[in-house]
Amino acid sequence: MGRRKLKNPDELVKPGPSATIAERLRYLVDLTRKTQVEFGKLINVDPSNMSKILSGNYPITDAMVNRVVVNLGVSKDWLTNGTDVPYPKSATAGAPLVPEVDTGPVAVHDRNAVGAPVYDIDATAGCVPLSRMFTDEHIIGRLDLPGLDRTQPIVRVSGDSMEPKIRDGGYIAIRQLSRDGFIYWGKVYLVITEDYRMVKIVRKHTNPGMVILHSINPEYDDMEIERNQIQALFLVNGVFNYEIL
């Protein structure tokens, strides 16, 4: 089967307010000049389901809408109800929660190469202090990308509470902070307590002795913990989601 003929973006007609979400997704497929398979990979959808989604024969969940909004920078108001424009100027006006590098696939170099060390460590599992695990025998490669601090460790994370920003099995670059120091509210952190290791957005609580741990995945509720429960705090400075093709 030949490759689908791509439409010229200048010839596209933007869906009106009465259009369905599926129709707006079809418009985005043509606007981005992607095949259905390529577009499905961009929003983490099984390519075999894309045809049914675009034809309106497959349910479009809130999670799928959120992935389109986050991964493609599309206006949620436009996608869901036709107001606003697909790519509002305000979408790029503010700094992202975490600088994301969608390397897909990532080129991880050998352990003796130059770059930030990539560790064979799941930062959200185990009980050994991370600082004691940042040893040469745990290095599985190095990553050298523009803007990436070569001194910061890169570790793996598990779980879907931060999807679609951080996928299950993705990697993050982290920098340890003083647990009693200044917290950049609204940023993503690896938070370590006596019982848990979690990657969350840390938000300000009305009680100065507490913090709110927020997940991007709407299926997860916010958590409130006392600030003195935090044993270690790492700022997430980069996200690396990839898949081996």
Query: What's the pLDDT tens digit per position in 85-128?
Result: 787 654 433 334 454 544 444 444 454 567 888 888 888 876 66
For 209, half-sphere exposure in the C-beta direction (CA atoms, 13 angstrom radius) is 2
Angle, to 10 degrees, between the axis of helix 47-54 and the axis of helix 21-31?
A: 120
Angle, to 10 degrees, between the axis of helix 21-31 and the axis of helix 62-72?
A: 30
141 and 55 share one domain:
no
137 and 87 share one domain:
no
**99 inside domain:** no
Q: Residue 93's pLDDT is what? A: 35
Yes or no: say if 105 and 244 are a contact pair by the CB < 8 Å rule: yes
Yes or no: say if 128 and 100 are a contact pair by the CB < 8 Å rule: no
Q: How confident is the model at residue 11 (pLDDT cuts 50, 70, 90)?
A: low
131 and 229 share one domain:
yes
130 and 221 share one domain:
yes
What burial class does residue 174 get, using C-beta atoms within 10 Å of its C-beta: 0-12 exposed, 13-18 middle, 19+ buried? buried
**206 inside domain:** yes
Query: What's the pLDDT tens digit per position in 155-179?
Result: 988 888 898 888 888 899 999 887 6
Query: What's the pLDDT tens digit per position in 196-240?
Result: 888 999 999 999 899 999 999 888 889 999 999 998 899 999 998
